[in-house]
Amino acid sequence: MNQQTRPLVIRNGRVIDPSQGLDSVADVVLVEGAVGGIEARGTTQLFDGWAEFDASGMIVAPGFIDLHTHLRTPGQEWKEDPKTASDAAVRGGFTTICVMPNTYPAQDNASVVGELMLRCVSESAVRVRPIGAITKGRKGGELAPMHELADASAVGFSDDGDPVMSPHLMRQALTYSTDLDLPIINHAEDRGLVAEWDMNEGVVASHLGLRGIPNSAESMMIARDIELARITNGRLHIPHVSTAESVELIRIAKFESIKVTAEVTPHHLALTERWVYGENGNVPPFLTENAYYTQAKMAPPLRTEDDRMALVEGLADGTIDAVGTDHAPHAETDKVCTFTEAANGIIGLETALPLTLGIAGIDIKLVIERLTAGPSAILHDAGIGTLRSGAKADVVVIDPYAEWRVDRATLGSKSSNTPMIDSKVTGRVVATFVGGVKVWDANEGEGNNV
C-alpha cells in the first residue's frame, strides 16, 4: 500500500466540526484521501498498514480555507511562490487557499490561470483556487472574459488592491455573477474621496503627521456595491471589512436578503491603529524611534478600537461570514523605508489562529466556523471545510493553549513582514493533513507522510 494514501486514524481529540454542529471527543478516520467517518473515542479498529495520530488534549477540525491569499506568482516570486505560500499555509492550518489576481501578468485570462495552476500542482501541498480579475489588466476599463476564467476554474473575481471605480462596470460584473454563480469581490475604497493616504484618519495620524483615510471611503463603496447587488441580484463578497459603518451596512443588506457575504482579517480583529506607534499597541508618552512602524501599514488600514469591537461583534452575530488572512508577502526593502513609501500589507497565514484566538480572544468554535464552514459556503464547495463522511481528508490539529514565539527563522513564508515578529502568542497548529497526508507536524518541524 502506498504510504501516502494508507488509512489514518486521528485519535482522542476534541472534534469540532461546525458544518455538522459537532463538538465531542472522538476518532476521525481518513481513508483514500477522504473522511471515512467519525467514531466514538477508542472504538476504531486499526488494521494492518493503518497509521494513527494521537490528538489527546488537542482540537481536531476541518482544514482551514483562506479566501484571500496573495501568492505573488507569477511576477514577484522573490516575495512568495507556490511552495513557500504552501509552507506558510500548512503551518497555519490552511489546506485550501484562494489566490488573488494582482500578479504580473494579472490573472485575467485562462492562459495565465492555467499556467499558475499547473505550477501549483507540482509545488504546492495545499489546494489552490484561483480568483480571476474583474477587469482586463485590473485597470478598471473593460471586463475580463469572466466565462473563460470560470471555465479555467476561477472561484470568484476581484481586482484586489484596486477598486472597480466605475459603477457601470461593477453592475455589469454583478450581472455576470448571476449566470456564473460566482462572487464579485471588490476592494472597498472610494478613491474619489481620498486618492493618497498613509493610515487611518484620526488621532494617531494627526500625532504622527501622516495622511489619513476616513472610514467613509470604505463604507461609501460598500453602500454603492450593495445597491448594485440589489438591482442585479448578483453575488457580492466584501473583502477585509475594517469599519463599524461597513459592518452595519452589511448587516442591513443581509436582513433585506441581498446576496452579500463578507470577510474580516485576523489583524483587523486583533490590532488597532495604535500599532503604528511601534509599541505593540501601546500609546507611548513620547515618540520613540519605533514610531512610524511600517509593519503596521496595510490597506485597508488598522482602525480604532471601536471599529475593532464592531468587527468582533459582526463576526459573532453572523454579519461577517469568514476570516480571510489577506496574506500579503513583501520583500524587506518594501518595508525598510519611510512610512509613506512602504508597501501595504502583512503576511497572515501562519498567525491567523493566534491573532483571532489568542489576541482577539474569540471563542475557538466561532474561529473554526469562520475558517471552515463559512468560507466553504461562500465557495459553494461542500467537499472542503467539513469532516462529513466522503469529504476531502483535510484536517487540522490545534493546541489552543500552546504559547509560541513568532520567529522569523522558522516562518514558512519567503517574507516576514508582520508586526508579530518576536511576539509570544497563544494558539498553535500542531499538525495539518491534506488529502489524508500529513504535510505539517510542529513537533517535527516539517511535513512527513504518515
Which ranges of 276-351 does DSSP label H, i.e. alpha helix? 305-316
Q: Does residue 445 register a pLDDT over 80? A: no
The pTM of this model reads 0.96
Q: Across residues 214-235, what is the average pLDDT?
A: 98
- pLDDT given for residue 410 in this prediction: 96
Give the helix/strand (H/E) hosting 224.
helix 216-232
Q: DSSP assignment of 196-223, as one string?
A: --SEESSHHHHHHT--EE-THHHHHHHH
Helix, coil or strand: residue 364: helix
Whole-Å CA distances, 111 to 117, 156, 200, 242: 10, 17, 38, 34
Grid coordinates representing 170 are 461593477
How many Å apart are CA 24 and CA 194, to the nearest integer?
A: 50
Average pLDDT in the chain:
96
- pLDDT given for residue 47 in this prediction: 83
**315 contact partners, CB below 8 Å, separation of at least 6:** 264, 269, 323, 362, 366, 370
Helix, coil or strand: residue 14: strand
Q: Across residues 286-300, what is the average pLDDT?
A: 97
How many Å apart are CA 242 and CA 221, to the nearest integer?
A: 13
Q: Quickly state the pLDDT bin for 344 (edges 50, 70, 90).
A: very high
Q: Does residue 3 register a pLDDT over 50? A: no
Q: Does residue 356 register a pLDDT over 50? A: yes
How many Å apart are CA 303 and CA 300, to the nearest integer?
A: 8
- pLDDT given for residue 43 in this prediction: 81
Q: Higher confidence at residue 47 or residue 402?
A: 402
Total length of the chain = 450
**238 contact partners, CB below 8 Å, separation of at least 6:** 185, 186, 188, 222, 225, 246, 250, 260, 261, 262, 263
* Catalytically annotated residues: 326
Q: Does residue 337 register a pLDDT over 80? A: yes
